Amino acid sequence: TWFKAGIVPGLAGLALTPYIVYKLNPPEIKDTPDAPKVAAKKIEEMGPMKKIEWMVAGTMLLTMLLWIFGDKIGMAGATAAMVGITMQMLGGVLTWQDLLSEKGAWDTLIWFAVLVAMSAQLKEFGLIGALSAKVNAGLTAMNLGWPAVFISLHVAYFLLHYLFASQTAQLAALGSAFLATMIGAGTPPILAALTIPFHTNLFGGMTHYASGQSAVFYGSGYYDMGTTFKIGGIVGVTNLLIWGIVGGFWWKIIGLY
């Protein structure tokens, strides 16, 4: 059901988002006809994989498997990452100096740790719950039809992500309350239950702390904070409109409402 509901707006977003980013922030180099030849030549010069390269591949594969199946063996994702790093250090792939020199990674770690902790404290002190309750109470008091409530809550859900440093944290904090309000206003349950998690995947790049991956990309140093907020916000709103308009028509066709 989720695949059928998401495939059309998902493909539309996949087609339009790269084009919009290209127009907003065009690359300095737009034509690289010799890139395949240069890459092939470099690979040939490197020769067959060396022992240390096989070790990198092996530890990365092991780390990925531990991360995927960690829940089944009782291993947290952070522990899996530490296992991989430790094995690479013991094998001579990395040194402690190598780790210290990764300034971008340390910058991301510190920023993201602070922002995640701040988000958790906002939830613990009741701010997130109070905002959620305020939004829900206001919409209930206005006695709107379910389409208006549905759209209003999704707009609020989008804007509230500026207070969160994790998509999962927002879904856990607001998902059930917003879902209950939508259904209580008359929104078809399947439509409400599908669109909230769909929406949670649309704002991962709207700020440098919006998700784990956005923090890593920002830490790479290729763009500044102003660019992140500008392009992230435009792309986030664009995706919201794509899923709202294209998705709305598609969900009507397949009978979700």
Q: What is the pLDDT of residues 137-172, one digit of tens each?
A: 777 777 778 898 899 899 989 988 887 777 877 887
Angle at 197 between CA 194 and CA 201, to 5 degrees: 130
Listed range (5-9, 19-23, 74-78, 238-242) with the worst mean pLDDT: 74-78
- What single-letter DSSP state applies at residue 202? S
Q: Tokens for 105, please give them.
A: 């990674």
Give the residue with greater pLDDT, 211 vs 233: 233
Taking 80 as the threshold, does the pLDDT of residue 231 lie above it? Answer: yes
pLDDT at 132 over 70: no
Separation of alpha carbons 231 and 177, rounded Å: 30
Best CA proximity match to 234, nearest among 29, 28, 14, 25 = 25
pLDDT at 112: 65
Q: Does the pLDDT at position 198 exceed 70?
A: yes
Q: Which of 223, 221, 227 is nearest to 105 (CA)?
A: 221
The predicted-structure confidence for 51-85, as pLDDT tens digits, reads as follows 888 888 889 899 999 988 888 888 888 888 888 88
pLDDT band at 252 (very low <50, low <70, confident <90, very high): very high
Answer yes or no: is pLDDT of 249 > 90.
yes
Among 36, 6, 3, 5, residue whose Cα is nearest residue 202: 6
Provide the whole-model pTM: 0.70
Residue 86 has pLDDT above 70, yes or no: yes
Cα–Cα separations (whole angstroms), residue 1 to 4, 5, 60, 190, 194 = 5, 6, 34, 9, 9
Q: Is the pLDDT of residue 253 over 90?
A: yes
Taking residue 1's Cβ as centre, other Cβ atoms within 10 Å add up to 10
Q: Sorting pLDDT into bands at 50, 70 and 90, what band is 203?
A: confident
Percent of the chain with pLDDT over 70: 91
C-alpha to C-alpha distance for 232 and 247, rounded to whole angstroms? 21
pLDDT for 33: 82
Which stretch of 14-18, 20-24, 159-163 has the lowest confidence by average pLDDT?
A: 159-163
Residue 118 has which token pair?
A: 């701040």
With residue 248 as reference, give the H or E element that holds it. helix 225-253
Q: What is the chain's mean pLDDT, rounded?
A: 84
Q: Is 187 left (phi over 0), alpha (psi -120 to 50) or beta?
A: beta
Q: List the one residue out of 15, 1, 4 whose CA is nearest residue 242.
A: 15
Report the alpha-carbon angle 164-165-168, nearest 5.
80
Ranges 92-96, 111-115, 195-199: which has the least confidence: 111-115
